[in-house]
């Protein structure tokens, strides 16, 4: 009987102590959701002409071939422009998930270009609602001036551009970005032409299927329009095929770097002065990503 009484007392004491203890789980706040960065807002590092908010992976090399053909309205005699072709070949490289660089060469004006692209703000769940990307680049025309009265300084044939891209992936099916850009040309052909041109890129991606997207890329000039320059417009499709991304599009621009398609587009998209073109991208892994930090 004494043993039963003692056991009963121990049980009551244990229950009383447990009832007085606070619920430890209530003292622990809800676990914060893991921050997830948004990816694949666009399927390429370029919308059509302009840079997108996307970046190459760490240690990845992107070999890009861009073609622009003649006017579609030249008809069958010119095979709807396919008899004429201009090209740019380039190499882009991902230094980290937030920094990439690139270099290219176009046959138009024998022009070379290079850029650096940085992402200080990256859209993420539980974080920033948009991505902000900064692009800074330069161009160099290797063809000397035809005017013998002009001294052919290397610096005279150089141009520079700076751009801020603000973009957002609204859903898996729709992404959009707005990107003001300033293009500076060291030397222009007349006093009537400004050295600085300001434009705004408007780019969008609409997903049509698992591998196909519809793309829009417009660059209206807002200030400093060069003589005869028209706004650059482009529409087309992105098609994913394994390690390749084909970009098939229609545009009034011939040039394939920022200075060329913003200050050098002379065709009028609204008057059907449109060219067919494509961008081909092939990605190679040069260095394993684990060697880099985020």
Mean pLDDT of 267-289: 87
Helical residues (DSSP H) of the chain, grouped into ranges = 2-20, 258-263
User: Which residue would you say has higher pLDDT here, 274 or 13?
Assistant: 274
pLDDT in tens, 119-139: 999 999 988 999 999 999 999
Contact predicate 203/47, CB 8 Å: yes
Q: Calculate the dihedral angle through the C-alpha atoms of 184, 188, 157, 222, rounding to the nearest 10 degrees.
A: 30
Kindly tell me if the per-residue pLDDT of 218 is higher than 90. yes
Give the span between the Cα atoms of 152 and 149, in whole angstroms: 9
Backbone angles phi, psi at 54, to 5 degrees: -85, 155
Give the span between the Cα atoms of 34 and 126, in whole angstroms: 8
- Work out the pLDDT band at 164, boundaries 50, 70, 90: very high
- Work out the pLDDT band at 33, boundaries 50, 70, 90: low
Q: Beta strand pairing status for 212-219 and 196-207?
A: antiparallel
pLDDT in tens, 45-82: 999 999 999 999 999 999 999 999 988 888 787 787 78
DSSP string, 154-202: TGGGEEEEEEEEEEEEEETTEEEEEEEEEEEES--SSTTS-SEEEEEEE
* Domains in the chain: ranges and CATH: 36-291 (2.40.160.40)
């Amino acid at each position: 009987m004494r043993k039963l009484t003692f056991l009963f007392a121990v049980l009551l004491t244990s229950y009383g102590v447990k009832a007085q203890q606070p619920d430890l789980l209530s003292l622990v706040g809800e676990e914060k959701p893991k921050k997830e960065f948004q990816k694949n807002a666009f399927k390429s590092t370029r919308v059509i002409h302009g840079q997108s908010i996307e970046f190459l992976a760490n240690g990845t090399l992107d070999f890009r071939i861009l073609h622009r053909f003649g006017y579609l309205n030249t008809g069958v005699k010119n095979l709807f422009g396919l008899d004429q072709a201009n090209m740019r070949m380039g190499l882009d490289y991902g230094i980290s998930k937030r920094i990439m660089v690139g270099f290219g060469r176009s046959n138009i004006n024998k022009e070379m270009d290079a850029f650096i692209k940085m992402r200080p703000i990256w859209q993420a769940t539980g974080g920033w609602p948009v991505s902000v990307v900064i692009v800074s680049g330069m161009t160099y025309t290797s063809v000397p001036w035809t005017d013998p009265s002009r001294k052919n300084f290397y610096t005279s044939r150089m141009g520079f551009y700076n751009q801020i891209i603000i973009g957002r992936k609204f859903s898996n099916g729709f992404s959009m970005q707005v990107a003001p850009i300033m293009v500076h040309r060291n030397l222009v052909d007349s006093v009537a032409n400004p050295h600085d041109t300001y434009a705004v890129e408007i780019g969008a991606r609409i997903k049509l299927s698992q591998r196909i997207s519809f793309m829009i890329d417009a660059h209206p000039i807002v200030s400093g329009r060069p003589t005869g320059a028209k706004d650059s417009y482009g529409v087309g499709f992105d098609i994913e095929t394994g390690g390749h991304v084909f970009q098939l599009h229609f545009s009034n621009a011939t040039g394939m770097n920022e200075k060329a398609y913003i200050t050098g587009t002379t065709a009028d998209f609204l008057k059907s002065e449109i060219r067919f073109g494509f961008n081909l991208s092939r990605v190679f892994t040069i260095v394993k990503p684990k060697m880099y930090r985020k």
